[in-house]
Structure formats: structure tokens, C-alpha cells
Amino acid sequence: MKVSVKVPATTANIGPGFDCFGMALSMYNVVTLEETVYPTNGLEINIISNSKDDLSAITIPTDKSNIVYKAVELLYNYTGQVVPALKINIKSNIPIAKGLGSSASVIVGGIIAANKLLGNPADEAAILSIANEVEGHPDNTTPAMLGGFVLSSAEEDGSIIHRKIEWPDDWKLTICIPDYELATQISRSVLPEKVDLQDALYNAKRCALFIQALHTKDSALLKVALDDKLHQPYRTRLVPGFDEIATSLKDVEVLGTVLSGAGPSILVISENSRVEDVKNTVKSTWEAIGIRSSVKTVDIDTTGAVIL
């Protein structure tokens, strides 16, 4: 039996929502699991990338240290079964180490595919919990599975509390992807172990304003709500040109410019009339300092992971 699952990219944090805000985007990976039988045994993992320039796909482990296999193994353990001989194909269409949830996408895809192979013993709550155990935080895995804009919290018992909130149609998303990678581990390493109480309070207020802005589709409120003091002041130092881009886009009157996840990609939120101005501003700013980039407007994916 063979199962393929298509899973969207995600953008997380979105300003103040560090490790709790996430949104699914219309870019996709496909994970295929196939149980193999005699004379084939063991584990076979194939990475298929559409981009000839995607050297990062070459560095993905193809043994049991692969995160997809780890996720699959946890699902089998959850059901009290041993992982059989498997062939895993990962069709990679989401840029790796760019802050677009590529790892969360394949983790979710692997778990859902394995669950289907086993006859769906795990419910949504169990899948989300297992995905979070592999990824370490739910802000990418939850929207990757469910689609849409999702706020989520990993609880002490391993469960994931989550809610989807409708994203206004008029708020357009532009993803700006530079031609270099930034591993999440590196981006997390620059964060302080402790934060100032006033900074924590600042972000708590911004998160509240953000949710209210979504519920009321209040563009003016969103501009204020996207500010952050917990992670972006430290991480943007690793993203050359971020400050210049954010400053230039203020003249374009966008709703906000934030890091996508841990970076280095940048998420720009704007209204319809500003999309082309955003693209031109970002590309020209990065080109001026020698950085090539891909800048494109994407839709929010409202469906999440789908078995093909």
C-alpha cells in the first residue's frame, strides 16, 4: 500500500506571536510512504527537488535520523507497532532553511501517511501532539495540518490547544526569499535565555491587539499589533537588509513587515493596491547589497494537509 500526502508551507510568529501564531501558505511538499515487501527490506528515503539549485536537499539525511522517519516511528510506537520496511519519497517544493516550515510540512505529511497505512488509529489531537514532539513547537505543524491562520499552545501534558481565525481576504501576503539559508538552530541561538518583564508585557499586549485586528479586520490596528520585542530585534541582525526593507516599505504604506518564522525569509502584509510596490522595493533593496531573491505573493491555504 502507498499513501501520498500534500502539506502546505507555513509562516510562523508573524510579529508578536512567538511560537504560537502560524499560517499555512499555498506552497507544498508531498510525502509518500510505501510499505515494502520481500526481497526489499529496511528503509529507503528519496529526496526529490524541483529546483536544480536546491543544494540543501542533498544534505537531508536518508537514514533513520531523517525527521520524517522519526515522526513515522513515533506514530507506530503510539499504536504499539513496529515500523515495517518502508520507502519514503519526499517531493520538496518548499525552500529549506528559509523560515517557511519545510520541516513541519514533511513531519505532518509523514505522520498522516503512516496513520493512513495503519488504518487511521490516531485522531487529530494525537497527530498534532506527535508532530509537536518531533518539531518542538506547534506554530508551524498545527497550521500545516489544519490550514488557515492558527493560534496554538503546547500544554504540559503534550496536548495542543488551537483555534483557527479567519484571515481577511484584503490582506495580501508577499513572501520574500533570499538566496541564502538560515538554520532554525542558529536563529534560536541568538535569543536571550531571559527577557525583560516590560518586553514580555509589550508582546502580550500586541498579541491581544493582533487577534482583535483579525476579528474586526482592522488594518490600522494590525499595523500596531505586528511589533515585537521578544525575537525579531535579535534575529533580524542575521538577515542583511531587513531594516532597510522595513524602512522602505513604510513609504509604501504596507500593513507590516516581519520575519517569516526564524527567517531569513520576510513576510510582508499589504492591501491589494500595494503588492507590486512591495515586490519592487524588496528586490531592489536586496540587489543593492548583492543578495538575489525570489519575491512572490501567495495565498493563504485554508485546507491544510490532504491525502492525495
Residue 38 has a pLDDT of 61
Residue 246 has a pLDDT of 96
Whether 59 has a pLDDT exceeding 80, the answer reads no
Q: Are 307 and 112 in contact (CB under 8 A)?
A: yes
Q: Are 242 and 266 in contact (CB under 8 A)?
A: yes
Q: What is the pLDDT of residues 76-111, one digit of tens each?
A: 999 999 999 999 999 999 999 999 999 999 999 999
Report the percentage of the chain scoring pLDDT > 90: 86
- Amino acid identity of 58? I
Report the percentage of the chain scoring pLDDT > 70: 96
Whether 58 has a pLDDT exceeding 70, the answer reads no
Residue 52 has a pLDDT of 55
Q: Are 101 and 261 in contact (CB under 8 A)?
A: yes
User: Average pLDDT in the 277-293 region?
Assistant: 94
Whether 53 has a pLDDT exceeding 90, the answer reads no
Mean confidence (pLDDT) of the chain: 93
Q: Find cell 537531508 and name the residue.
A: 60
Residue 273 binned pLDDT confidence (cut-offs 50, 70, 90): confident
Residues contacting 4, CB < 8 A, separation 6+: 30, 31, 32, 113, 307, 308
Domain annotation for the chain: domains and CATH numbers:
2-166+301-307 (3.30.230.10), 171-298 (3.30.70.890)
Element (H or E) spanning 25, and its range?
Answer: strand 21-35
Q: What is the pLDDT of residues 167-220, one digit of tens each?
A: 999 999 999 999 988 888 899 999 999 999 999 999 999 999 999 999 999 999
Whether 15 has a pLDDT exceeding 60, the answer reads yes
Q: How far is CA 3 from CA 89, 98, 104, 113, 301, in A?
A: 10, 27, 18, 6, 21
Distance CA 304, CA 191 (A): 30
- Amino acid identity of 66? N
Written as nine digits, the cell of 22 is: 502560524
Residue 275 has a pLDDT of 84
User: Average pLDDT in the 242-270 region?
Assistant: 95
